Amino acid sequence: MAHQDSSAQREESTTLIRTKLNRPRLGGDLVPRPRLLTQLECNPQRKLTLVSAPAGYGKTTLLVQWLRDCSHPSAGWLSLDEGDSHPAVFLSYFIAAVRTAFPDACPATEMLLHAPQPPPLDHLATVLINELTKFPETLILILDDFQYIRDLSVHGLLNRILRYLPDQVHLVIATRT
């Protein structure tokens, strides 16, 4: 019986809210921001773009507008919240966001993540990084509202991923802090 409870808890913790993977819609009353849009243009040497501003300054709107106009069609979106500040939950959503662009991506990472005894985070990061190298084209992955991720192990995991991020993956983090 205890095994079923543990399995049910693991399943519940990895159930994803699919709407968090959708880009927000743009309103009709956009303020043009050509200078910021130009700054966001993809640079192949850049692994990370950080968009940081207080609440209400239009970070999300700017990124949605940029993706709409960007010449790279493969993009994933993840709207983060307080419940995502746990390594397994964060990685589950990260993989799901990648899969909105590449549906068959990261099967080994997902399998390890859902194993009865998941491996250490460094190993999960290594497997994920190796799987990200297999993309046939550039992927832009946006993590919106990153200020909600407070768990230092998630920050460490993301640091490791960023350190070895393949050239064809461009990560964009939007945050208030």
**Residue 82 DSSP code:** G
Low-confidence ranges of the chain (pLDDT < 70): 1-14, 42-45, 71-72
- Most distant CA pair in the chain, distance: 59
For residue 135, CA distances in Å to 69, 98, 99, 168, 174 come to 22, 10, 11, 7, 23
Tell me the backbone φ, ψ of residue 49, rounded to 5 degrees.
Answer: -120, 130
Whole-model pTM: value is: 0.88
Q: What is the pLDDT of residue 44?
A: 53
How many CB atoms are closer than 10 A to CB 91?
26
Q: What is the pLDDT of residue 78?
A: 98
